């Protein structure tokens, strides 16, 4: 074979594959550069790996890099690496036949999907396209390669029309050059010899590749005189070698080697957030689920978290080559505020979102990441955790409903302010440790502000009995309670629903009030479903409560605010039999069942109950008028 040019036919599968790649990826043609750079970077990786035991492989070519050379006039583009290179046999084996299991699998799946026309970029995304993607943009591809430690080089060439030629040639240096004779560009931005186009593609797809991707660029610079000062009006064209990628793939470094400054800079780069992150998580996993991850918890909620433009979540890489941003498949929604990079070497570069969802590897990584994040949160020092919770708690809590497997872990991370915590957060475990010896349940109340809740009449009896109540002010808490139901075998009990059963109601006294309470219910036009003696109240006259399974007032408010049609749930009007007002109304009623003031009084009882829980009156102006009249009558001048 020495010196002879041999012509070979591509295997039929290769021809088929090339056609499919060219046709189906035409609208994503810039990826050819990513694929070739990724091959070059792999080849340098391989060289470095082997050089660990065979250091002579480096020779005097020790500066590992990938070079891009564009020639506008000739319309050529060259990608050169000084990596491991290939022998003649390796070229025959790797390029031109299908040895790779991925590609074979791809062709097999074509058998089931039928014609070429059915091939979408999504489908092709399951498999590597690699080297053949060069034919999307090139009429002719020439590969010249010399394997490390070998004297001779091999030249492979094809116009992608079914055959290729191969011959032995001379090449001075180790590594591979791919020379593309570019097709005619239809649009300017398709001109892959254009410096800015190349820069853009490298920045977008290959910024973190570990080796410098360099390009010679022509610059016009002033001519300097003997003293190094620019000469007036004299310029010259000079060629400068520029590195196009940042290479800062700090996630692949050893944890201990990454400085705080690098973290801040990298975080800013991926998140576009100028606040420093609250904390980070740097993971390197080996074994069946292999990946590197560098994740950050921001210190502030990004303003665009759940909008369409939200972009800067998890970026997915494979061996430092960018695959996609905002990879929702790797992070559940309740952790959507986490930012960072996941690099999974076994993932295919063309993998699509559709495929990610079904990918077992991706699912495992996600499960793993969630576990690590929950562990990180559980191990955080209190103050830091509370900063996190104040910022992201309302999003994080949704995990109770979204992530059944981790429900207990998330529940242990919940924090609430309580009637006795003095404005500080308390965990559910701490709450339980403070429960009264005979207290069975965890008491909570929901509403839209701490002040309303702290002053809620529903809490009067509980306060009197010195029982602590969790104050829940996030809309999501309603769902948290619904899905959690209990914690450490203690049931959640609403302070505004059902009977509190703290004291036995005095049945005798209750009987005395039955007639009055029935009258009030009728007089209120059945706006409430029941009027009964309160188990909640101590100082206030009236409050509204629900049955244990009714919707809470706050839930009703949330649903209404979100524009939903809420079926009107009738509430229970609870009246305080120990309050002098109720006793006076009773006396009045017994004296004159038809007293005109009775209607006003019963209406006011309901209005007061509504107002005290922060609700809205049906007829506020009437309320104002009646109160005005009453006050006028009450003031003795």
The site for ligand ADP (CB under 6 A) is made up of: 39-40, 43, 81, 83-86, 94-95, 100, 128, 130-131, 176
- Which is nearer to ligand ADP, 41 or 534 (by Cβ)? 41
Tokens representing 600 are: 């006003």
Nearest to 144 by CA among 114, 176, 190: 176
- Which is nearer to ligand ADP, 134 or 572 (by Cβ)? 134
- Which is nearer to ligand ADP, 135 or 589 (by Cβ)? 135
Tokens representing 389 are: 């919770």
- Which is nearer to ligand ADP, 25 or 469 (by Cβ)? 25
For residue 21, the minimal CB distance to ligand ADP (Å) is: 10
- Which is nearer to ligand ADP, 131 or 337 (by Cβ)? 131
CB 344 within 8 A of CB 365: yes
Buried/exposed code over 410-422 (b: 16+ C-beta within 10 A; e: otherwise): bbebbbbbbbebe
Tokens representing 555 are: 């839930």
Tokens representing 324 are: 């996609």
Other beta carbons less than 10 A from residue 259's beta carbon = 10
- Which is nearer to ligand ADP, 130 or 533 (by Cβ)? 130
For residue 339, the minimal CB distance to ligand ADP (Å) is: 29
Beta-sheet pairing, 153-158 with 163-169: antiparallel
For residue 118, the minimal CB distance to ligand ADP (Å) is: 23
Place of tokens 């700090």: 250
CB 255 within 8 A of CB 275: no
- Tell me how far apart the alpha carbons of residues 367 and 403 are, in angstroms, rounded to a whole number: 10
Q: Which helix (H) or strand (E) holds 627?
A: helix 620-634
For residue 78, the minimal CB distance to ligand ADP (Å) is: 12
For residue 424, the minimal CB distance to ligand ADP (Å) is: 56
- Which is nearer to ligand ADP, 39 or 206 (by Cβ)? 39
Tokens representing 154 are: 């091999």
For residue 230, the minimal CB distance to ligand ADP (Å) is: 42
- Tell me how far apart the alpha carbons of residues 558 and 565 are, in angstroms, rounded to a whole number: 11
- Which is nearer to ligand ADP, 108 or 486 (by Cβ)? 108
For residue 40, the minimal CB distance to ligand ADP (Å) is: 5
For residue 447, the minimal CB distance to ligand ADP (Å) is: 58
Nearest to 344 by CA among 296, 264, 285, 304: 285
Place of tokens 């005189």: 225
For residue 132, the minimal CB distance to ligand ADP (Å) is: 6
Nearest to 549 by CA among 463, 481, 619: 481
DSSP 229: P
Which residue is at the shortest CB distance from ligand ADP? 130
- Which is nearer to ligand ADP, 84 or 374 (by Cβ)? 84
For residue 37, the minimal CB distance to ligand ADP (Å) is: 9
DSSP-derived secondary structure for 536-560: S-SS-SEEEEB-TTSPPHHHHHHHH
Residue 260: alpha-carbon gap to chain centroid? 23
Tokens representing 81 are: 């690496």
- Which is nearer to ligand ADP, 91 or 413 (by Cβ)? 91
For residue 128, the minimal CB distance to ligand ADP (Å) is: 3
Specify the long-range contacts of residues 520-524, CB closer than 8 Å, at least 24 apart: 520/573, 520/575, 520/602, 520/605, 521/573, 523/598, 523/599, 523/602, 524/573, 524/602, 524/603, 524/606
Beta bridge partners of 238: 219
For residue 564, the minimal CB distance to ligand ADP (Å) is: 51
- Which is nearer to ligand ADP, 86 or 314 (by Cβ)? 86
- Which is nearer to ligand ADP, 100 or 440 (by Cβ)? 100
Could you tell me how many helices (H) and strands (E) the chain has, helices first? 22, 23
Residue 590: helix, strand or coil by DSSP?
helix
- Which is nearer to ligand ADP, 131 or 322 (by Cβ)? 131
Q: Is 62 exposed, middle or buried (0-12, 13-18, 19+ CB in 10 A)?
A: exposed
DSSP 201: H
N-term to C-term CA, the chain: 123
For residue 131, the minimal CB distance to ligand ADP (Å) is: 3
CB 417 within 8 A of CB 424: yes
Residues ≥6 apart with Cβ < 8 Å to 268: 274
For residue 213, the minimal CB distance to ligand ADP (Å) is: 13
- Which is nearer to ligand ADP, 95 or 377 (by Cβ)? 95
For residue 80, the minimal CB distance to ligand ADP (Å) is: 9
Other beta carbons less than 10 A from residue 354's beta carbon = 14
Which stretches does DSSP call E strand in 173-278? 175-182, 213-224, 230-243
- Which is nearer to ligand ADP, 34 or 415 (by Cβ)? 34
Cα distances (Å, whole numbers) of residue 347 to 342, 510, 585: 11, 72, 76
Tokens representing 135 are: 């034919």
Widest pairwise Cα distance in the chain = 124
Residue 431: helix, strand or coil by DSSP?
helix
- Which is nearer to ligand ADP, 324 or 454 (by Cβ)? 324
Tokens representing 231 are: 């000469």
């Amino acid at each position: 074979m020495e010196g002879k040019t041999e012509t070979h036919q591509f295997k039929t599968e290769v021809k088929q594959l090339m056609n499919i790649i060219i046709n189906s990826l035409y609208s994503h043609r810039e990826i050819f550069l990513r694929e070739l750079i990724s091959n070059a970077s792999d080849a340098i990786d391989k060289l470095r790996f082997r050089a660990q035991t065979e250091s002579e492989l480096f020779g005097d070519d020790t500066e590992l890099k990938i070079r891009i050379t564009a020639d506008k006039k000739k319309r050529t583009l060259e990608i050169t690496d000084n990596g491991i290179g290939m022998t003649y046999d390796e070229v025959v084996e790797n390029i031109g036949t299908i040895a790779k299991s991925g590609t074979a699998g791809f062709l097999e799946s074509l058998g089931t999907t039928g014609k070429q026309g059915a091939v979408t970029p999504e489908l092709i995304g399951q498999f590597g396209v690699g080297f053949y993607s060069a034919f999307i943009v090139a009429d002719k591809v020439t590969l010249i390669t010399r394997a490390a430690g070998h004297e001779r080089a091999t030249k492979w060439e094809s116009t992608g029309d079914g055959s290729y030629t191969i011959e032995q040639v001379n090449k001075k240096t180790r590594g591979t050059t791919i020379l593309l004779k570019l097709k005619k560009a239809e649009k300017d931005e398709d001109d892959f010899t254009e410096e800015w186009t190349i820069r853009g593609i490298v920045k977008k797809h290959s910024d973190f590749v570990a080796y410098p991707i360099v390009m010679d660029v022509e610059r016009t610079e002033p001519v300097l005189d003997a003293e190094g000062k620019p000469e007036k009006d004299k310029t010259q064209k000079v060629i400068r070698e520029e590195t196009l990628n940042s290479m800062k793939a700090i996630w692949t470094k050893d944890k201990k080697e990454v400085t705080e400054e690098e973290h801040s800079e990298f975080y800013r780069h991926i998140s576009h957030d100028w606040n420093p992150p609250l904390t980070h998580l740097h993971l390197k996993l080996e074994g069946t689920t292999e990946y590197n991850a560098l994740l950050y918890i921001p210190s502030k909620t990004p303003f665009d978290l759940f909008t369409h433009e939200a972009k800067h979540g998890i970026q997915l890489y494979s061996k430092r080559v960018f695959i996609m941003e905002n990879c929702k498949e790797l992070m559940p929604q309740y952790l959507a505020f986490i930012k960072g990079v996941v690099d999974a070497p076994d993932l295919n570069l063309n993998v699509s979102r559709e495929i990610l969802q079904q990918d077992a590897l991706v699912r495992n990584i996600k499960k793993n990441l969630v576990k690590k994040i929950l562990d990180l949160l559980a191990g955080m020092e209190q103050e830091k955790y509370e900063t996190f919770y104040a910022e992201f708690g309302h999003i994080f809590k949704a995990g109770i409903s979204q992530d059944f497997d981790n429900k207990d872990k998330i529940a242990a991370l919940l924090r609430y302010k309580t009637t006795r915590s003095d404005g500080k957060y308390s965990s559910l475990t701490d709450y339980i440790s403070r429960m009264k010896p005979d207290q069975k349940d965890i008491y909570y109340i929901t509403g839209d502000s701490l002040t309303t809740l702290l002053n809620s009449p529903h809490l009067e009896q509980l306060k009197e009995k010195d029982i602590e109540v969790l104050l829940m002010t996030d809309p999501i808490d309603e769902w948290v309670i619904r899905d959690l139901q209990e914690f450490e075998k203690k049931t959640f009990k609403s302070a505004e629903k059902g009977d509190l059963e703290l004291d036995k109601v005095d049945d005798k006294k209750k009987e005395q009030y039955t007639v009055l309470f029935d009258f009030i219910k009728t007089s209120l036009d059945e706006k409430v479903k029941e009027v009964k003696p309160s188990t909640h109240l101590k100082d206030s006259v009236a409050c509204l409560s629900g049955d244990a399974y009714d919707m809470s007032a706050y839930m009703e408010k949330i649903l209404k605010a979100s524009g939903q049609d809420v079926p009107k749930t009738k509430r229970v009007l609870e009246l305080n039999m120990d309050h002098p007002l109720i006793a006076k109304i009773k006396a009045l009623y017994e004296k004159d069942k038809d007293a005109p003031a009775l209607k006003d009084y019963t209406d006011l009882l309901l209005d007061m109950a509504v107002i005290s829980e922060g609700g809205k009156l049906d007829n506020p102006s009437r309320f104002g008028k009646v109160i005005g009249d009453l006050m006028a009558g009450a003031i003795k001048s």
